[in-house]
Amino acid sequence: MVGKIQDIKTTYSEDELIALLREKSEAGFHHLYDHYSGALYGVILRIVQSKEYTEEIIQDVFMKIWNSIHQYDSAKGRFYTWMINIARNTAIDYLKSKSFQNELKNQSLPDFVYNNAELSTTNNSDFIGFSNVLETLESDKQELINLAYYQGFTQSEISEKLNMPLGTVKTKMRNALMKLKDLLKDYQ
């Protein structure tokens, strides 16, 4: 057994690596991950711009490489380029997926507010008559904004207080903020 451990190579040529992957070798997969994960991670991160989503997608990318290695054709291009295309396409597909789009619609209030430059309060300008603008919203939207911003309730707490599903609170809060954003356009 000791002799077997000493025989394991730590570096492989591109052709050797591809052959190992086609044989479904764990050593080949570990080598692939160790040597290419950083570069592929960077490609994905530039597209999705979120470390959390990138970590999810990188797993999918390596599974796609593992499962479709038989489709790689060296006559059509380099192995690295083929992997980058898989990473790029997977990241783009993820951004277009319904689950990702729904997650964006239902993201938590602080993420939504602070990630949206137009709703950000970093310009330190205060709106005179803001309460008048707020009063033009429907009463349910006023209540959500009041609970979240003036009373400091979290979305989970609002959900419990109003006996409403959390997803519904998030969606209604987002809609309220979008409506408020629309109303405030006249004041900018």
Residue 91 in contact with residue 57, Cβ under 8 Å? yes
pLDDT confidence bin for 108, thresholds 50/70/90: low
Q: Which pLDDT does position 18 carry in this prediction?
A: 93
% of the chain residues with pLDDT over 90: 29
142/172 Cα distance (integer angstroms): 11
Joined tokens for residue 173: 């809060």
The pair of structure tokens assigned to 18 is 């591809």
The token pair that represents 170 in the structure block: 């998030």
Lowest mean pLDDT among 13-17, 78-82, 110-114, 145-149: 110-114
Binning pLDDT at 50, 70 and 90, where does residue 43 land? confident
Q: Position of tokens 């919203």? A: 137
Residue 69 pLDDT level (bands cut at 50, 70, 90): very high
Average pLDDT over residues 144-164: 79
pLDDT at 6 over 50: no
Residue 17: the pLDDT is: 93
Whether the pTM exceeds 0.75: the reply is no
User: What is the sign, positive or negative, of the torsion defined by CA atoms of 140, 143, 145, 147?
Assistant: negative
Q: Which parts of the chain fold into alpha helices (H)?
A: 2-6, 14-22, 26-48, 51-68, 79-96, 98-105, 109-115, 130-135, 139-145, 155-162, 166-184
